A = this chain, B = another copy of it.
């Protein structure tokens, strides 16, 4: 193991927010503040853009009480971005800017919390710094509700979004069952390319029966079969609850959300209707049932009040491990989890370190063998996988009956 070098640390958040990305940031910040080797702790305001533009928040000044609220505050408290870094051989400009900022503030530790693109950013910066001979340690911390990062058992953020989706489906299913005349309710979940989040809808059946059908983007969608599946279910149960991924597509690759509903507003502009309401209308038209489309929209990625306690802890642990490892000389790695699952819900997870390159360039797809033969539900193997990830309740602190989210002191350096 290497030794700790003296210098400051920058932590940044990137990509779409999650209910626990701030918990990871807190893990980084607290560990860094406690280290004697790390002289200053900075937060990059709006991700890598904040580094490039030298907009750094002094985290020492955030205030302990407000900083602690990062544990249960959703979204990216430091600010996020969707910047994709260019190939340094094509455009060196942003890298030169980062190098200057690193030099100016004596930055020797850089920790970036995000998905594939963020790991790619880490990887490129790391290579550049090596090429120019600037000594620093760089670590990625995984974050994505989509759960599609390669090499790790799961990603912080996924368990909380999964818990929100399963809980909300249970609740709406109760609501949809109150009248003598049944209804078809269609839930639209995020996950354009990977079915992880939509599959989580199956967790709603752990304590009873609330959901009937699931359609993932890993299977080609067939409208006639979809309608027939619903008809059979409705005839049998007098009710039907269906989860669909926003990314479901026909065999030719075209998204269902892009077909059909084009609405025209007052100005004649065409706007895409929501997938859930499109499918609901389709079912209503073809089968004559009462239908409802529910889109979980942004709610599923920011409902911190319904986050998984275990997810929050692991998110924090991931941030903590990133710094601990950098202090011991590790660099160019993404923190990940290796987990063991035992009968009756037993679960054990520990931190592993993965090459940035792999996390940057590979996606973790939903296992085909976890989809049933009919392509309209998931197998028990998925439940065994996902159930441990949604255990424990949110650590949300309430003030006057409402979450007491952070309003930390933003001091720029």
Interface residues of A (CB under 8 A from B): 13, 17, 46, 49, 73-77, 79-82, 163, 166-168, 170-172, 174-180, 203-204, 206-208, 259-267, 269, 271, 273-274, 277-278, 281-282, 285, 292, 294-295, 297-299, 301-306, 308, 345, 387, 390-393, 398-405, 407
Q: Report how many copies the assembly holds.
A: 2
Query: Could you give 22 example pairs across A and B, Cβ below 8 Å?
Result: A17-B175, A46-B180, A74-B175, A75-B171, A75-B178, A163-B402, A171-B305, A203-B402, A204-B402, A206-B402, A207-B400, A207-B402, A207-B405, A208-B407, A260-B265, A261-B271, A265-B278, A266-B282, A274-B274, A274-B277, A390-B401, A392-B401
Who on chain B is nearest to A273 by CB? B263
Establish whether residues B277 and A175, one from each chain, have CB atoms under 8 Å apart when the complex forms.
no
Question: Given A82-B179, A269-B281, A302–B403 Cβ distance below 8 Å?
Answer: no
Q: Whole-angstrom distance from the CB of A361 to the nearest CB of chain B?
A: 25
Chain B residues near A178 (CB-CB < 8 A): 13, 17, 75-76, 79-80
Q: Whole-angstrom distance from the CB of A70 to the nearest CB of chain B?
A: 11
Contact of A302 among B172, B267, B391, B405 (CB under 8 A): B172
Chain B residues near A259 (CB-CB < 8 A): 266
Establish whether residues A387 and B400, one from each chain, have CB atoms under 8 Å apart when the complex forms.
yes
Taking A17-B178, A81-B179, A306-B306 as given, write out 8 further A-B residue pairs in contact, using a Cβ cutoff of 8 Å, ordered by the A residue number. Answer: A75-B174, A167-B402, A171-B303, A174-B302, A175-B298, A206-B401, A261-B265, A294-B299
Who on chain B is nearest to A392 by CB? B401
Chain B residues near A80 (CB-CB < 8 A): 178-179
Chain B residues near A265 (CB-CB < 8 A): 260-261, 278, 281-282, 285
